[in-house]
Structure 1
C-alpha cells in the first residue's frame, strides 16, 4: 500500500464503512447492482444529459432527458440483479420518469452551472510511513455552479432517504462533497463557497428538495479542535486498519459485496 489510487467518488463510502470499502476497492470483491442502484444511475444519466446540453447551449427538452433515462434503464452497462430489490421494473421506470422531469423543470432552472461532472486533477495525500493516497476521477453526479456568494458544488443524490420531511438530507454527505470541494480547488486554484445537496427521492411519492449551502470541506480538513477526515483516513491507511460499521444504512446483503463473509453485522 505504498501508493494507492482511489476514485474520489468512492471516498465518502470509505468513511461510511471502511471494511466494505476495502473489500470492494482494494480486494476487488464485487457483486451485481440492484434495480434501485440502476434507477439512480439512470436518473443521473438523464439529468446530466439535460444539464450538459444546456451548458453547451444545445437544444434539449425534458422529454429528451427522459429518453436518456429510459435508454440507460433498459440497457445497463453493468451487471444487474433484478431480484434483490423490493421494486418492480415498471415502478422504477415510473419513478425515474417523474424525477427526471421534475429535475429538468423545477430544479435545473435554479442553478447557473459552469461544469457538469467535471474531470479533476489527481490530489495526493501523504499518509506518512511511505504510504500515500492519490484521489482521481471526476465529480460523478456533481456540478459546479456560480452564485452571488461564489462557486458551489451541487451534488445530485438519489435514494429513498435523500429527502426527509420535505428537506434534502445532508447527513453523512460531507465526506464526498468535501472531497469534491478540495479537488475542485486543487484543479482550478479557486476557493469554493460550499456544497449543496440536490435530493431526488426514489420512493413512490418522488419527493425533491435542495439543501442550503454548507461547507463540506471543513469536515475534510478539520479545525483547531478536531482533526479532519483526511488526517483520520491517512492514519487508517498507514496502519492498514479498515473498521466495519454495522450500523451503516448500506449494511445489508443488497449493497455490500462483503456481506456473506462479514461477521460484524450479526
Structure 2
C-alpha cells in the first residue's frame, strides 16, 4: 500500500538544518509560538509582496500604501506570537519593518520584472521507494519569480539580522528552500528556471538591503552523476524514519525548538 506524506515546501530547508527538530514540528505536530523577530519578518514579506503584486497587475500602489499591510500584520497576526520572546517592542518592530519595507520598494523591487509573486504551486511527488511518497505542497510564500534573459529566476526574500554579511546577501544554507521552489515552479509552469537569488533585508536596528548573484539551487536538490542531491538524502530519512539531530545548529535553543526540553542530543 502506498503511503503519501504531505510536506510544505517552505519547511524543506529546516529538514537539513536539524531533521530531529523538523520531525517534531512537521510530522509530530510539536509547535511553539513565534517570536517578535519572526513576526517582523512576516510583516515585511506581506508588505513587499503586496507592492510587487501591484506592479504585476498594473495597479502600482505606492510603497506607503503597501506599508499598511506591514502594520496590519504586526498588530493583528494570524498565528500565535509570544511577544516577550524577543527584546523588541512593538514600536521598534514597526520602525524596523517599515524601514526595511521602504528599502525594498525603492532599491530592490525596481531591479526586477516579476512574473509571479507567492504563486500557488502544483504538488510535487518524491518517490522514496518501498511504497512511500513525499508530496511537496504549498506556495512560494516568501519568493517571487523574476523574468531574465536566461529564463525565470526564483527570487527569495530573506529577512533577519544575519542575512547580509560584509555588505552582501548571504546564500549560505538557502539552496534547500529555493531549490525546492525552483523544482516546484518548473513542475507547475512547465518551464526551466535559470537559478535562484536572495533578496536580503537586514532587520537590525539599522536596516539594509542587498541582492545576491544568481545561483543554481536546483542542482543541490537533484544532485549530479555520482553525487546524490538533497532529495535523495531526504528520501533516505523518510524511508528509514531516522531524522538525525544537529546540536550544533544555530537554532538549537528553547527559543527556536519546541522539542528542545525533551531532546536527548542538545547541549546541557
TM-score interval w.r.t. the shorter chain?
over 0.9
1:120 aligns with 2:118: no
Number of the residue aligned with 2:236:
235
Whole-Å Cα distance in 2 between the matches of residues 186 and 126 of structure 1? 15
Number of the residue aligned with 2:68:
67
- TM-score w.r.t. the length of structure 2 is 0.97
**Residue 59 of structure 1, CA deviation:** 3.1
User: SS of the residue aligned with 2:224?
Assistant: coil
Q: Deviations over 1:14-43 (max 9, x none)?
A: 111111111111101111110000000000
Number of the residue aligned with 1:154:
155
Q: How much is the aligned-residue C-alpha RMSD, in angstroms?
A: 1.0
User: SS of the residue aligned with 1:54?
Assistant: helix
Q: Deviations over 1:222-250 (max 9, x none)?
A: 01241100001101100001111112122
User: SS of the residue aligned with 2:228?
Assistant: coil
**Residue 92 of structure 1, CA deviation:** 1.2
Matches within 5 A, 1:46-195: 46-195=47-196
**Residue 44 of structure 1, CA deviation:** 0.4
Number of the residue aligned with 1:199:
200
Whole-Å Cα distance in 2 between the matches of residues 37 and 7 of structure 1? 18
The answer (yes or no) to whether the contact 2:107–2:209 under 8 Å persists in 1 is no
Whole-Å Cα distance in 2 between the matches of residues 243 and 27 of structure 1? 15
Whole-Å Cα distance in 2 between the matches of residues 231 and 225 of structure 1? 12
Whole-Å Cα distance in 2 between the matches of residues 134 and 265 of structure 1? 30
Whole-Å Cα distance in 1 between the matches of residues 3 and 207 of structure 2? 45
Q: Deviations over 1:37-58 (max 9, x none)?
A: 0000000010011011111101
1:247 aligns with 2:261: no
User: SS of the residue aligned with 1:21?
Assistant: helix
The answer (yes or no) to whether the contact 2:103–2:208 under 8 Å persists in 1 is no
**Residue 263 of structure 1, CA deviation:** 2.3
User: SS of the residue aligned with 2:243?
Assistant: coil
Whole-Å Cα distance in 2 between the matches of residues 219 and 167 of structure 1? 21
Whole-Å Cα distance in 1 between the matches of residues 9 and 96 of structure 2? 28
The answer (yes or no) to whether the contact 2:51–2:60 under 8 Å persists in 1 is no
Whole-Å Cα distance in 2 between the matches of residues 254 and 95 of structure 1? 21
Whole-Å Cα distance in 2 between the matches of residues 91 and 265 of structure 1? 32
Q: Deviations over 1:60-115 (max 9, x none)?
A: 01101211101110111111101111222221111001000010111100000001
Whole-Å Cα distance in 2 between the matches of residues 148 and 204 of structure 1? 37
